[in-house]
């Protein structure tokens, strides 16, 4: 843990990318999003808009708590801790919902391609 506290931003970014690549749930969801966006026939500008939109939505789960803490500091500690505990308790339900949505989107994309 001591090495992690002395890590540079580039090192932290490299570890984040590695963790994304080895987490099968994240890899499947991102690959599915890429498949849906890539097969949507949006043209180059539409594809870029879709990629930016997906990135903002996907990154908001990390960005919102960071911004909340940056703006309000310790005043949001209780709310963030409550949210963390709730998400830990509801992990299976949340993952089932996300993976169901991704699965339905892939089925829809497959049917539409036929």
H or E element that contains 98: helix 91-113
8-60 pLDDT per residue, tens: 778 877 887 887 778 887 888 888 888 888 888 889 999 999 999 998 888 88
pLDDT at res. 50? 92
Domain extent listing, the chain: 25-113
60-110 pLDDT per residue, tens: 877 888 888 888 888 888 988 898 899 899 999 998 998 898 889 888 888
pLDDT at res. 90? 93
- How far apart (Å, rounded) are the C-alpha atoms in residues 41 and 44? 9
Short-list 47, 24, 38, CA closest to 99: 24
Count CB neighbours of 27 within 10 A: 12
pLDDT at res. 49? 94
Query: Hey, is 8 helix, strand or coil?
Result: coil
**Of residues 103 and 4, which shows the higher confidence score?**
103
- How far apart (Å, rounded) are the C-alpha atoms in residues 49 and 18? 26
Average pLDDT score, the chain: 84
pTM of the predicted protein model: 0.59
Does residue 47 contact residue 37 with C-beta atoms inside 8 Å? yes
């Amino acid at each position: 843990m001591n090495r992690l506290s002395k890590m540079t931003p580039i090192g932290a970014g490299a570890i984040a990318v590695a963790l994304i690549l080895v987490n099968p749930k994240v890899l499947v969801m991102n690959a599915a999003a890429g498949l849906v966006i890539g097969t949507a026939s949006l043209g180059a500008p539409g594809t870029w808009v879709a990629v930016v939109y997906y990135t903002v939505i996907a990154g908001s789960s990390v960005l919102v708590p960071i911004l909340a803490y940056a703006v309000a500091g310790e005043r949001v500690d209780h709310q963030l801790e409550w949210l963390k505990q709730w998400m830990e308790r509801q992990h299976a339900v949340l993952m089932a919902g996300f993976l169901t949505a991704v699965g339905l989107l892939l089925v829809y994309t497959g049917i539409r391609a036929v």
